[in-house]
Amino acid sequence: MASSTNIANLVLSKPWSSSSSKALYFPLGGRVSSACSSWQISKRSSFRGISRNNNSNNSSNTICMCMPSPSQTTSSSTLPMAAPLIIRDNESLLKYLHQPLVLPHEVDDGTMRKELLEITRRELMRSISKPLEALQMMDTIQRLGLAYHFEEEINIILSEVSSKVYDDEDLMTAGLRFRLLRHNGHQITPDIFCKFLNENGKFEDSLKGDIMGLLSLYEASYLGANGEDILFEAMEFSEAQLRSSLPSLEAQLATKVSQALELPRHRRMVRLEARRFIEEYSKENGHNPDLLELAKLDYNKVQSLHQMELSEITRWWKELGLVEKLTFARDRPLECFLWTVGLLPEPKYSACRIELAKTIAILLVIDDIFDTHDGPMDELVLFTNAIRKWDLEAMEELPEYMKICYMALYNTTNEICYKILKENGWSVLPYLKSTWIDMIEGFMLEARWFNDGETPNLEEYVENGVTTAGAYMALVHLFFLIGQGVTQESVKLLMDPYPKLFSCSGRILRLWDDLGTAKEEQERGDLASSIHLFMKENNITCEEGGRKGIMKLINNLWKDLNSELVSRNAMPLAIIKAAFNMARASQVVYQHEEDTYFSSVDNYVKALFFTPIIN
Ligand SMILES: CC(C)=CCC/C(C)=C/COP(=O)(O)OP(=O)(O)O
Ligand SMILES: [Mg+2]
């Protein structure tokens, strides 16, 4: 008979408190109940159930976790998504973050995760003699969000498969090999696809029925750089074939293909893809149960790290108190944090994420001084001049509401510089200051255009829009915060002018921003957006046509961005990755209505930061 355990009196610990790992074992098949709910314990292995009681009538704020003893096993699992969670303001966010909560990795106390990591590491290295197996496993590992644990092993395997010639490799393997090598910054030429062309230079008709091969070619084609025409041929060919075969595919494969057609792998944000793919993978026949288990444990562990960071950012933001003084300004620490997790998904960048989120929060307030508040021109000029001087005395001339913002920027930037100096011995104030000055001058230029009734051309608007979207500011900060490959040579490439890598990724950010926010901005009476300037310059009368044109520009910018990955220059790989991630995050933040899985930014935030994965 099923036993029942009342959880009302369980004392649970905070997600980041290391001292109190509690393992609560319940009998498999038993029930755990609270005042308003009960859970059947029927899942496999250690931790298998966590649910926050969201019944607002019940003040107990119960979090329930159920866990069969390690000896008990059962099969199959489903991952419920985004439980209802309402975060109304920073107050309730902080409250939420400080509520007692036990996350799965704590229950496991890390032992199981470590064991699974070692099992996976061994399996990955064993697969090296079979390239296809190794590549597939590596691909799954990356997709599950686990690649950061296996950087060394992944590089060993990639070096191995990049140096060999595989005469008999099929389309699927060639596509996978190309994509993984290029994604990870290894050299590979698209000539490996030449053998799949007929005498007219077109992909062979015989490939049309090879759905897995086409899918692999399709995903690889999105990493094409300028001049790699074979990959653009590959993109058209594979996309057309996949679309036309979609109705005849069996359900699971059809889902795989439509997911890919919706958004190729190369453009997906790492943590969101991990969240989504863990569920897909759990339903795949023949999945590796250890890998799946590891992915879930790891996802939840990283999520609890993110909660801790978010708690730190929210505390900082509240203490700063900017929005209490500037009531028109945006109050969105969560949104800032979403960006930073997009740019820097790896756990090791915890401190960088916190600092970057601060800069974005301040950027939003300055943007609001210029846009929403419509600061009078003379005040905006004063503000711009004071920032140029970068001097607390210059602050004295400013109106009260500007003073507090000025000092918040001044202090936060100095604190970031101090941390970098302490950590690495680099004195970076001239660079950080300079990138903020560029940004304020960009805002000022927009304000002048608006005030004088002047319309810039598309190119002028977009280039300035990269600066006002904060792209250069964010990447220059990250260059020093990450601190990898900071040399005299790479620092010389950083500013004056900003590197092409930054401007391509920044243009993608600006264009997605306009696609996502132009409607409200136009209603508010802001400057014409890139969509409208594109329509004007190309004699297009309908907005839909303008949007399509902008999408084309974005696709071309991706080719430019990929070219930067191929040429590499002296830019460190970590900052190249961050620039790519900025382009990826832009699409995620601004194109959510077309995403059928998460469907809203709110759901991204819940899935990323608040809802652990449960079985
Ligand atoms: C990674 C980074 C730097 C993220 C910042 C994102 C951003 C562009 C915010 C401002 O958008 P907005 O649409 O409110 O402002 P704008 O007036 O510039 O369009
Ligand atoms: Mg905008």
What is the per-residue pLDDT for 519?
79
pTM of the predicted model as reported, rounded to 2 decimal places: 0.84
Measuring from atom 18 of ligand 1, which residue has the nearest CA?
469
In this prediction, residues 61-87 reach a mean pLDDT of 36
Q: Would you say 232 and 224 are in contact if contact means Cβ atoms under 8 Å apart?
A: yes
Q: Give the count of domains, the chain.
A: 1
Q: Which domain holds residue 267?
A: 111-293
In a domain, 267, yes or no: yes
The ligand that comes nearest to the alpha carbon of residue 446 is 1
**DSSP string covering 93-143, please?**
HHHHHTS----HHHHHTTHHHHHHHHHHHHHHHHGGGSHHHHHHHHHHHHH
Of the segments 42-51, 57-66, 263-272, 374-383, which one has the largest average pLDDT value? Answer: 263-272
In a domain, 379, yes or no: no
Q: How far is the CA of 470 from the centre of ligand 1 (A)?
A: 7
Report the share of the chain in percent with pLDDT over 90.
Answer: 70
Rounded to whole angstroms, how far apart are CA atoms 132 and 421? 46
What is the per-residue pLDDT for 153?
95
Q: How far is the CA of 521 from the centre of ligand 2 (A)?
A: 7
What is the per-residue pLDDT for 379?
94
Rounded to whole angstroms, how far apart are CA atoms 410 and 390? 7
pLDDT band of residue 474 (cuts 50, 70, 90) is very high
**DSSP string covering 382-434, please?**
HHHHHHHHT-HHHHTTS-HHHHHHHHHHHHHHHHHHHHHHHHH----HHHHHH
pLDDT band of residue 68 (cuts 50, 70, 90) is very low
Return the ligand 1 atom nearest residue 342 CA. 1
pLDDT band of residue 111 (cuts 50, 70, 90) is confident
Residues with CB under 6 A from ligand 1: 339, 360, 364, 367, 371, 468-471, 474, 513, 517, 582
In a domain, 136, yes or no: yes
More confident residue, 282 or 522: 282
What is the per-residue pLDDT for 86?
56
Of 98-102, 167-171, 381-385, the least confident: 98-102
Q: How far is the CA of 350 from the centre of ligand 2 (A)?
A: 27
Q: What is the pLDDT of residues 486-543, one digit of tens each?
A: 999 999 999 999 999 999 999 999 999 999 988 787 777 777 899 999 999 999 999 9
The ligand that comes nearest to the alpha carbon of residue 474 is 1
Return the ligand 1 atom nearest residue 589 CA. 6
Q: What is the pLDDT of residues 436-452, one digit of tens each?
A: 999 999 999 999 999 89
Q: Which of 533, 514, 522 is nearest to 469 (CA)?
A: 514
In a domain, 157, yes or no: yes
What is the per-residue pLDDT for 38?
33
Q: Which of 236, 126, 220 is nearest to 169 (CA)?
A: 220
Q: What is the pLDDT of residues 354-364, one digit of tens each?
A: 999 999 999 99
In a domain, 68, yes or no: no
In a domain, 174, yes or no: yes
Q: Which of 203, 195, 136 is nearest to 165 (CA)?
A: 195
CATH of the domain at 249: 1.50.10.130
332, 355, 363: which to mutate for ligand 1, most atoms within 8 A of CB? 363
**DSSP string covering 150-184, please?**
-HHHHHHHHHHHHHS--TT--HHHHHHHHHHHHHT
In this prediction, residues 132-138 reach a mean pLDDT of 95
More confident residue, 60 or 109: 109
What is the per-residue pLDDT for 43?
29
Q: Would you say 572 and 485 are in contact if contact means Cβ atoms under 8 Å apart?
A: yes
In a domain, 316, yes or no: no
Question: Is 316's pLDDT higher than 90?
Answer: yes
